[in-house]
Amino acid sequence: MKIIIPYLILSALIFGIYWLIKKIVKRFRKTRESADLEKNFKQVARKARMKRIFLPVYLTLTALVVVFGIVMQINSAQMEKLYFKTYDLAGDFVDIQAPNVGYNSAYINDYGVFTSNLHLDTYKNIDGYHVTWKPLDFPFGTLSMYMSHENYDMYASPQITSNGYYTQKDNQKITTFFQTKVNFKSKDYYGLQPTHEASTFKNQPNELAEIAVTFKEPLTYAQIQALVPKNLLINWYWIGLSDSKNLDAAYNLDYFGLNSDSKTFDNGNANQPTGKLSASSYKTFVKDVNNWPTEQTSSTGEFNPLKDARKQIKKYPTLASAKFSGVILTGQTKNFGTLDDEPWVFATNVGLTTPIVPYVKPLK
């Protein structure tokens, strides 16, 4: 009996210790599981919160990338269309509004994603000689109006001296026409007085020159062919103005007209002016004037040269009916000597001149 009692006490003590350890372990496990659950919950909540924050950002960025790609493709296609449109517009400008001007190259010299510039290297044909002239620039783009007329400083804002108009940057003399019925003595007139510069070449041989000839009265194509001396070349025909008394028009140098037809000559000179016009070339000129954008022609006071030109071509829709107020002639200076004495000539104004060289034969 004495032996059993200590054994029972030891067993009870061992069981108590076991039970206590089991309780502690169970509580530890429960605490750990609770901590793990709380940790897991926090992790899940954090991941959910991150998804709520970054998923919209990701979707937004993805959408922006897709939209940007689409916009760039549309912009690229639009820039290509604008390039071809500007190229055609530049060619039309030279054909209808650039007296005796041609170009030998046209290229993009300032390329951008949204804006670019079409550059034309130009020249004037002086009796077969190509003489460098003021380049033309035609900016265009999806974010701005293409072809700003303000770039043509030799037409819009030339320098004025006592004997003529000159380009702003290159100081090249501009051939000038005159309105025959303007009161040049009026206090309201501040432009050039009519010039007679053809006669100044009498003592200046061995050179070629271009001269703007203003007629006393508008002449038909047939009359011009009969009156102009055969030793001078007609490079350009000026359609004149519907109102030759308009003072605002007298200050505007945006002349409308057309170059004479060209051909390849037997001596190898390609695309040289013939001095002649065809009915089809005049018809093309009429179409180009009617299609020319109104906003691309600058006005002087209340005078708009494009609107006036449209009045002229409406009055003279065909070459057979057309009348011209002047021409640009080129040739050897010795052949201009008596031009100012002709009864049909109102004024003559010199533009560019160039020396005759022995290795290039003039056309006239």
111-140: per-residue pLDDT in tens?
778 888 889 999 999 999 999 998 888 888
Mean pLDDT taken over the chain: 81
Among the listed ranges 12-16, 52-56, 343-347, which one has the minimum average pLDDT value? Answer: 12-16
pLDDT digits 0-9 by tens, 26-36? 665 555 555 55
Banded model confidence at residue 110, pLDDT cuts 50, 70, 90: confident
The residues, ordered by sequence, that sit 6+ positions from 265 with a Cβ below 8 Å of its Cβ are 272, 363
Q: How far does Cα 199 stand from its chain's mean position?
A: 38
Average pLDDT over residues 12-16: 58
As a whole number of angstroms, the distance between CA 102 and CA 239 comes to 19
Q: What share of the chain has pLDDT > 70, as a percent? A: 77
DSSP state of 175: P
What pLDDT is attached to residue 144? 62
The residues, ordered by sequence, that sit 6+ positions from 95 with a Cβ below 8 Å of its Cβ are 258, 259, 284, 285, 288
